Amino acid sequence: MSDILKLTAVEARKALDSKAISATELTNAYIGAMDETRGLNAYVAETQSKALEMAAASDKRLAEGKAGPLEGIPVGVKDLFCTKGVETTACSNILKGFTPTYESFVTNQLWDAGGVMLGKINCDEFAMGSANETSAFGPAINPWSSEDGPDLAAGGSSGGSAASVSSGSSLIATGTDTGGSIRQPAALCGIVGMKPTYGRCSRWGIVAFASSLDQAGPFTRDVADSALMLEAMAGHDKMDSTSADVAMPDLQAAMQAGVKGLKIGIPSEYVMDGMDPAILKLWEQGQSWLKDAGAELVEISLPHTKYALPCYYIIAPAEASSNLARYDGVRYGSRVDEGGSLDEMYAATRSAGFGDEVKRRIMIGTYALSAGYYDAYYLKAQQVRQLIKTDFDNAFTQVDAILTPATPSAAFELGVKQDDPVTMYLNDVFTVPANLAGIPGISVPAGLSEAGLPLGLQVLAGSFREDRIYQVAKTLEEAAAFQLNPVRAAGGLR
């Protein structure tokens, strides 16, 4: 089959069931595409022989009629997920050489569903960043970059996941989203990225960044694949005390339901200075699409939106400074022995092992948590977080879902924001509020910038109402008819 890379996961499952293709054939096509797109730096470790073993096992189960929902589907795994026997570094030098003895809950669910692991995927160091530039392996490159122009950012922190799904070097990929790390790279690479409700996917075995915000989710080429992958990833887990025991709503039915009669909130605070005019236009276009499909648009107010970024950039670094205290050169990864005392070894290991952005977050977080400043920063940020959550609670008494832009701009050139952390942090302006409130959100590719780069629309819904998200996302996808057309994709995808 020549167009094998063009199949969505749903289509590939059908082709596998009908024996039109085999899992081994599909996996080999992706191994070829990984080879072809290596210049995008999407993978940090390729596990091709493991992939072929898993594909052979899938073919056996398919032949025996025991196929799971993701049977034979090639999956890329963000390097933040612990994978048993496969080095897991969180793209940090400090974790180089760390090979977990156990599998994360989420990836385990994917393998139980029949998924085939292609390898570990590039991301920002400890998932801190918006351009994949803080990775110890160098940045992933956006496949929409032109052949002769500058390399564009794939977004971050899950930049490699978005680059690989968009360029055809994985069919689906895992990501994590603490402040936008699934939705922003998905928007910049023209694919679908979903952050589930906090608690929907277990955090067990995912390298922790900010534990009250971190959530795993799917990267896919379309909305139906997103639902399929999320159903497999999600589930209650006793090993994560914040994992929720709440049944997943019927996402398949939701995607059939349309939006007739739904109330869609349009938050007035999401018009920002300096926003790309093409994004404003796309947002208005999205509103018309939903209205034409029978939804009612309701202007809403989320008055504390402007505090979301400052609040996030206190809480996330505070939690990070505490989570990252465990990397001391004793228990995991790399160690630098200098001086002779234990303290000197800690200092040398952490100085050499962490990159600049991670050190910046540790310092901000430690400061915000220190005795004299705790009330003024950390406690205040927690109070503001509650106000932001209350804004959403109030909004969802009036509306079923909220429509916003996903990012304030299309993909930017690598390097241009690297020396200006505040400009980089502004990338998360539309995505961070959902993490603070714990609610689910999706980014759906919906149009192009003037330069022909992808732009996304974001749909938000109340906690555990992923059905609402997929209901609206499916309608947007049908209306937008977005074409995934990156220049630097594998030949078989173009």
Binding site for ligand GLN (CB under 6 A): 127-130, 156-157, 176-181, 209, 316, 428
The nearest distance, CB 157 to ligand GLN, in angstroms, is 4
Name the residue nearer to ligand GLN (CB basis): 176 or 305.
176
Name the residue nearer to ligand GLN (CB basis): 58 or 158.
158
The nearest distance, CB 436 to ligand GLN, in angstroms, is 12
Q: Report yes or no: 67 and 74 within 8 Å, Cβ to Cβ.
A: no
Name the residue nearer to ligand GLN (CB basis): 89 or 176.
176
Name the residue nearer to ligand GLN (CB basis): 7 or 316.
316
Q: Is residue 443 among the annotated active site residues?
A: no
Burial class, 65, CB count within 10 angstroms (exposed 0-12 / middle 13-18 / buried 19+)? exposed
Q: Which two tokens stand for residue 348?
A: 């040398």
Distances from the Cα of 432 to the Cα of 109, 185, 494, angstroms = 27, 14, 33
Name the residue nearer to ligand GLN (CB basis): 128 or 414.
128
The nearest distance, CB 413 to ligand GLN, in angstroms, is 17
Which residue in 92, 169, 181, 321 is the catalytic one? 181
Neighbours of 145 (CB within 10 A): 22
Neighbours of 238 (CB within 10 A): 10
Q: Report yes or no: 154 and 142 within 8 Å, Cβ to Cβ.
A: yes
Name the residue nearer to ligand GLN (CB basis): 329 or 456.
456
Q: Report yes or no: 6 and 142 within 8 Å, Cβ to Cβ.
A: no
> What's the start-to-end Cα distance of the chain, in Å?
15
Q: Is residue 181 among the annotated active site residues?
A: yes
Cα 345–chain centre separation: 35
Name the residue nearer to ligand GLN (CB basis): 182 or 251.
182
DSSP 332: S
Residues 6+ apart with CB under 8 A from 323: 208, 209, 210, 211
Longest C-alpha distance within the chain, in Å? 71
Amino acid, res. 397: T
The nearest distance, CB 198 to ligand GLN, in angstroms, is 13
Name the residue nearer to ligand GLN (CB basis): 181 or 220.
181
DSSP 81: B
Which residue is closest to ligand GLN by CB?
181
The nearest distance, CB 68 to ligand GLN, in angstroms, is 29
The nearest distance, CB 313 to ligand GLN, in angstroms, is 8
Residues 6+ apart with CB under 8 A from 347: none
Q: How many residues does the chain have?
A: 494
Q: Report yes or no: 36 and 42 within 8 Å, Cβ to Cβ.
A: no
d(CA 336, CA 109): 36
Which residue in 78, 120, 195, 417 is the catalytic one? 78
Q: 167: closest CA among 130, 142, 135, 188?
A: 142
Which residue in 58, 157, 158, 321 is the catalytic one? 157
Q: Report yes or no: 466 and 249 within 8 Å, Cβ to Cβ.
A: yes
Q: Is residue 243 among the annotated active site residues?
A: no
Angle between helices 9-17 and 48-63 (to 10 degrees): 50
The partner residues of 45 in beta bridges, in order of sequence, read 120
The nearest distance, CB 158 to ligand GLN, in angstroms, is 7
The nearest distance, CB 82 to ligand GLN, in angstroms, is 17
DSSP 165: H
Query: Which residues form the catalytic set?
Result: 78, 157, 181
